[in-house]
Each structure stands twice: as structure tokens, then as C-alpha cells.
Amino acid sequence: MKSDEKIRKLERIFEELRGETVFVEGKRDKEALKQLGFRNVLTISGNLRQSCNKVKSTKVFILTDLDRRGNQLAIMAKNELESLSISADLEQRKHIAHLLNIRFFEEAKRAYEELKGEING
């Protein structure tokens, strides 16, 4: 897939997620997403239940890292959210990570800028 196609897909995903609640693992992940325009980002590492209780929407996008710890946290968050009758989306994390070629969301801003740089030459 060409860089410009990736950017278009990412922009569609980002547009959807920017107005929604997003869970990430830690502070660096949160900062990277805030730099990409995400507004309602909560960290869940160490305070999952507390973060779940702060959710005011009916759907949460879980963007934990694509490593063993991130996968475990994603499943725990999904289970906790669903116990509160909140829908949890785990699919977008895979799409974003694949399009940006990252495993760790703290790299999202850098990877996005690099991808845009490929287009602009």
C-alpha cells in the first residue's frame, strides 16, 4: 500500500477516534495521541478500574501496545468495560499499528510524521 493511501486510511480512523474515549497504557502513549489531536485519552496501566469508571460514553477504543503486556491489558480492559455495558473496540489498534508500522503507540506521532514526509518528499 502506498504512503498516501495509508495516510488517507489513518485520517479516516483518526477522525472517528478523535471524538471518542481512547484507552492507552501509559503517559508517553497518551502524549503521542494528544499530539495527533486525540482529546479524551485515558491511561490504564495501574488504574484500569478507575479509568473504566471515568468513561461517560458507550464505546471505548483500546489502543494498547502490540506486545504481551499490551495484549493482556487490552483483554482486561475489554472485560472490565463490557461488565459496565460499555462497548470496547480492539480492532482499530491493529489497523493503526499496521498502517504506521509500529508496535508501541508512543511512536505513533513520529511514525505518522515520517509517513507524511514520504509523500511530501
With residue 78 as reference, give the H or E element that holds it.
Answer: helix 68-83
* Cβ neighbours of 97 (radius 10 Å): 20
Full DSSP string of 28-52: HHHHHHHHTT--EEEE-TT-HHHHH
Domains parsed from the chain with CATH numbers: 3-120 (3.40.1360.10)
The distance from CA 23 to its chain's CA centroid, rounded to whole angstroms, is 7
pLDDT (tens digit per residue) in 39-91: 999 999 888 999 999 999 999 999 999 999 999 999 999 999 999 999 999 99
Task: For residue 121, name the pLDDT band (cuts at 50, 70, 90).
Answer: low
Residue count (the chain): 121
Mean pLDDT of the chain: 94
